[in-house]
Amino acid sequence: TGGFTVAIDGPAASGKGTISRALAAHFGFAYLDTGLLYRAVGAKVLDGMMPEVAARQLEKDDLESDALRSPEVAQEASRVAALPEVRAALTDFQRSFAARAGGAVLDGRDIGTVICPEAQVKLFVTASAEVRAQRRYAELSGKGMAVTLEQVLADVLARDARDSTREEAPLKPAADAVRIDTTELAIADAVAAAVKLIEAAQ
């Protein structure tokens, strides 16, 4: 039901957020960073709330804090994301977003597999762990966060392992997803390739 949906999944710092934003801007689609939902739940749990309650009570304002980008919140997000009740509480919001009439791009871990299995275009964006850690390190230190490359690499590897091995909605490519490896591909070239795929599917 609803509009044109682009589902973009992949591991942490693969470039999927940058690609998603560029595609949404190019086509005039709405964009939802679904990782932010899990980060916001993780942040509330670090503040002492129960995960399921945090997920059920999530509001727009909760998604706007800069603190959601910290590695501590990312780890907690990945822990709460393994809980079926948390995922269930966030499903309807994501599906309604995907059904917007004007088109939508959603990125995350389970968009093509669980949230929007009917998406018209599915991408699975990857890159080597080293390249992903370097990108995330540049991003976090650029925001003034005190992190080391080693910490960022360890964070990315720990989250990927937890996200890929969990029982509920694990990180994996949908059978019909197109893979884009950005290890040696410039983001602009990845975007250009994705634009062609979307044009062909419209």
For ligand C5P, the binding residues in 94-153 under the rule CB under 6 A are 108-111
What are the residues facing 7 on neighbouring strands? 106, 122
- Considering the complex, state which of residue 28 and residue 64 has its C-beta at the smaller distance from ligand C5P: 64
Among 78, 113, 126, 182, contact with ligand C5P (rule: CB under 6 A): 78
Name the segment binding ligand C5P (CB under 6 A); options: 32-40, 43-51, 52-60, 186-194: 32-40
Name the segment binding ligand C5P (CB under 6 A); options: 75-83, 96-104, 147-155, 172-180: 75-83
Among 81, 89, 127, 180, contact with ligand C5P (rule: CB under 6 A): 81
Quick one: DSSP state of residue 177?
P
Total of chain residues touching ligand C5P, rule CB under 6 A: 15
Query: How far apart, in whole angstroms, are the C-alpha atoms of residue 108 and residue 38?
Result: 10
With CA atoms as reference, report the closest residue to 161 among 82, 49, 46: 82
- How does strand 30-33 pair with strand 178-181? unpaired
Name the segment binding ligand C5P (CB under 6 A); options: 33-41, 122-130, 178-186, 194-202: 33-41
SS3 8: strand
Name the residue type at position 28: G
For residue 177, give every residue at least 6 positions away whose Cβ sits within 8 Å of its Cβ, in sequence order, or none. Answer: 7, 9, 112, 122, 123, 124
Binding site residue list: 10-18
Residues that bind ligand C5P (CB under 6 A): 12, 34-35, 38-39, 74, 77-78, 81, 108-111, 159, 163
